[in-house]
Amino acid sequence: MSFHPNDIQRRGVAATAAILVAMTALGSAFFRAQVLDDAAYRLSSERNRLRQVPLPAARGVIYDRHGEIIAENVPGYSVSILGASADSLRSTLVALTRILPLSEGEVNRAVQRFRKDPNRPTVILSDASYDQVAVLEEHRVEFPSLIIQSAPKRYYPDGPAVAAFTGYTGQIRDTELGTEAFEGYKSGQEIGRSGLERQYEAELRGREGSRFVEVDARGRVVRDGADRDFDAPVSGQVLKTNIDLDLQRFIANYLGDTLAAGVVAIEPKTGAVLALHSSPSFDPNRFIGGIQQEYWDELNADKVRLPLYNKAMQGLYPPASTFKLATAALALQDGLVDFDSRMPRPCTGGYVYGSRSWGCWDKGGHGAVTLSEAIAKSCDVYFYQLGLRMSLSRLLAGGVSLKMGERSGIDLPSEVKPLWPASTAYLDSTFGRGNWSNGETLNLSIGQGKNSQTVLNMARFYTALATDGFAATPEVVARSPERTQILKLTPAQFAGLRAAMGDVVSGRGTAGSAAIDGVQLAGKTGTAQNETSRDHAWFVGMAPQDDPTIVVAVMLWQGEHGYAAARIASKIISHFFKRPAIEPANVVGN
């Protein structure tokens, strides 16, 4: 080899140069990464290491009109897992099945939730029991990616008594995530599912907070990031309702679990909903944190009384004789009758129109009655003739002006729209042109036929009778009372209608047994004919008769006679006024 010092010298210089170049190149690469691009890498590093753990916000507390709590939050526990990858999450979950009863479906759903939002802890149990938490804490070391934290849990102290309007909350579903309607929601969050919880979700939900935990490469929690900014959750807004919780409780207790009924109590001058109940009810507390399948099955097993079906605003029933006040008021408004008017044909227990005889409920007949007496005794024959006098088209238009075909507009979701034919065209389309007769007028004038109302909408209509013709929009949460004029009558005429309704609850009327000591109750019974089962009992009443401060509508499913509903309404109103109800002395029919 060539080993002359000059050659060696030359090669030494070349080697030195090569090494210098290489080391400088390495150094500059590090300079670029560590000094120039430092910030970006720093961010990546933080994102690697820190995981945001959401801190659920407490939902807004719901109060009744006197400041009593309807819905609040109690401490609960949520269990979630920080997954590094779908596979590691799955293996952790499978390992967890040793100590937690997780089904394969639940594991798969959790993995799906993780895939949608890998940086968010995947909620496994949104409402873990103390026992579950105790067991998990015992095995904490085996599952370092587990996050067990306290989470406010929705609680309704009165449970079933308030379910009809509070509704309940539940975890957002995977199918809802990412849709427009649920924009901004993240997996594992609680949302209002029905009732007030859903209606006022935006105010009640509050704002989720967060804390940071430090994780290792496998997503295991190694440290709670106490040194990081702690973003405290913001509780939801307080909701003050018009509900009179004492009255609501009374109604729920009185109806118990055996009767199937819908009840609405409204303050006629404001529309404030004092109570709204559907019986039998369900316990919304058992819906929180995921409803247990057996409870769900149990509720759905009652195919007759349908606990999950809100009879106050989802059920549609023929209003029957409670509608006669609408017929009477419209006739008065049109000047067709006054309170002393009698119809051409006295009631003999039936009325022949067309080719058939239309019966009155009292086969004995009411004789030649005035309008006032016809209301008190609920004489069908009188109202047949009154309807015919008005004509069908006027009756239909009148019903529209009384908003019999519209929702009451209560601030609760899933109110069902009542059924009222806007014009004869509806009858044409239902029965077929020429397949119906003017006899429909007779049906409609006594609240039968193509007329189905919610308890709530009948209560709304009666608020107009209880005042000066202005119907109040029912409102659960006190916001902006709204009243719409639907009737134009003189004060004397309103007084006359209320007096006739007062007679209903007297020895002369159909619900004499519902009178209250010291408070003049006025109202109207109804017995809705039901083709498939026993008749439904209705009563819509108000008190005191002279200047009503409460309107109560009761529909007792298969209650058979209106006075059965009237007695319930009477109990409710007497409780409201703290007056004893008069015990039924003599029972009069519908």
Partner 1 sequence: MIKRVVADYPLALLALLLTAYGVAMVYSAGQTDAQVVVDMNAWQRQLMWLGAGLVMAYVVSRASVRFLEWVAVPAYTLSIVLLLITLAFGTGAGTAKSMSGWLTIGGVRLGQPSELAKIAVVLMLARLFAGRREAPKSLVDLIVPAVAVLVPWLLVMAQPDLGTGMVFVGIFFGMMFWAGTSWPLLLLVASPAVSLILAFSTGLWGAWFLLLVALVLWFKPYVVEGVVLIVANVVMGVAAPVLWDNLKPHQQSRILVFIDPQQDPQRTGYHVIQSQIAIGSGGLTGRGYLEGTQKQGAFLPAQTTDFIFAVLGEELGFLGVSAALTLFLFLFLRVIRVAARANDGFSSLVAFGLLASWFVHVVVNVGMTLNLMPITGIPLPFFSYGGSFMLSCWLAVGILVRVSAEGRGEADALPIGLRR
Residues lying near partner 1 in the complex (CB under 8 A)? 1-3, 7-9, 11-12, 14-16, 19-20, 22-23, 26-27, 29-31, 33-35, 37-38, 40-42, 44-46, 48-49, 85, 144, 214-218, 220, 222-223
At closest approach, how far in Å is the CB of 190 from partner 1? 31
At closest approach, how far in Å is the CB of 229 from partner 1? 17
At closest approach, how far in Å is the CB of 80 from partner 1? 19
At closest approach, how far in Å is the CB of 10 from partner 1? 10
Token pair 């009451």: residue: 408
At closest approach, how far in Å is the CB of 301 from partner 1? 48
Give the three-state DSSP class for 483. strand
At closest approach, how far in Å is the CB of 14 from partner 1? 8
Q: Can you spell out the DSSP letters for 87-143?
A: HHHHHHHHHHTTTS---HHHHHHHHHHHHH-TTSPEEEEEEE-HHHHHHHHHTGGG-
> 392 to each of 63, 317, 358, how far by Cα in Å?
46, 21, 17
Closer to partner 1 by Cβ: residue 226 or 422: 226
Closer to partner 1 by Cβ: residue 215 or 330: 215
Instruction: Give the count of beta carbons closer than 10 Å to the beta carbon of residue 300.
Output: 11
Backbone φ and ψ of 104, nearest 5°: -60, -40
Three-class HEC string of 523-570: EEEEEECCCCCCCEEEEEEEECCCCCCEEEEEEECCCCCHHHHHHHHH
Are the C-beta atoms of residues 537 and 408 closer than 8 Å to each other? no
Closer to partner 1 by Cβ: residue 38 or 297: 38
Closer to partner 1 by Cβ: residue 19 or 425: 19
Q: Which residues of 324-350 are buried (b: 16+ CB within 10 A; e: fewer)?
A: bbbbbbbbbbeebbebebbbeeebeeb
Closer to partner 1 by Cβ: residue 39 or 585: 39
At closest approach, how far in Å is the CB of 282 from partner 1? 46
Token duo for residue 69: 């709590």
Closer to partner 1 by Cβ: residue 8 or 368: 8
Closer to partner 1 by Cβ: residue 4 or 303: 4
DSSP state of 35: I
Q: How far is residue 192's CA from residue 195's CA, in Å, rounded to a whole number?
A: 8
Backbone φ and ψ of 445, nearest 5°: -70, -20
Which residues are CB-neighbours of 63 under 8 A, at least 6 positions away? 69, 70, 238, 239, 240, 241
Closer to partner 1 by Cβ: residue 37 or 334: 37
Closer to partner 1 by Cβ: residue 215 or 252: 215
Closer to partner 1 by Cβ: residue 55 or 84: 84
> 39 to each of 87, 219, 412, how far by Cα in Å?
31, 23, 51
At closest approach, how far in Å is the CB of 124 from partner 1? 21
Which residues are CB-neighbours of 125 under 8 A, at least 6 positions away? 77, 78, 79, 100, 132, 289
Are the C-beta atoms of residues 376 and 511 closer than 8 Å to each other? no
Q: How far is residue 393's CA from residue 390's CA, in Å, rounded to a whole number?
A: 8
At closest approach, how far in Å is the CB of 96 from partner 1? 17
Token duo for residue 344: 């051409």
Closer to partner 1 by Cβ: residue 20 or 238: 20
Angle at the Cα of 28 from the Cα atoms of 27 and 33, rounded to 5 degrees: 100
Q: Which residues of 164-192 are buried (b: 16+ CB within 10 A; e: fewer)?
A: bbbbbbbbbeeeebeeeebeebbbbbbbb
The beta-strand segments (E) located in 297-437 are 350-353, 356-359
Closer to partner 1 by Cβ: residue 21 or 587: 21
Residue 484, beta-bridge partner list: 471
At closest approach, how far in Å is the CB of 557 from partner 1? 60
Q: How far is residue 315's CA from residue 417's CA, in Å, rounded to a whole number?
A: 10
At closest approach, how far in Å is the CB of 34 from partner 1? 4
Question: Given 3-state DSSP classes, what are the helix, strand and coil percentages for the chain, each rounded to the nearest 5?
Answer: 40, 20, 40
At closest approach, how far in Å is the CB of 92 from partner 1? 13
At closest approach, how far in Å is the CB of 122 from partner 1? 18
Closer to partner 1 by Cβ: residue 147 or 374: 147
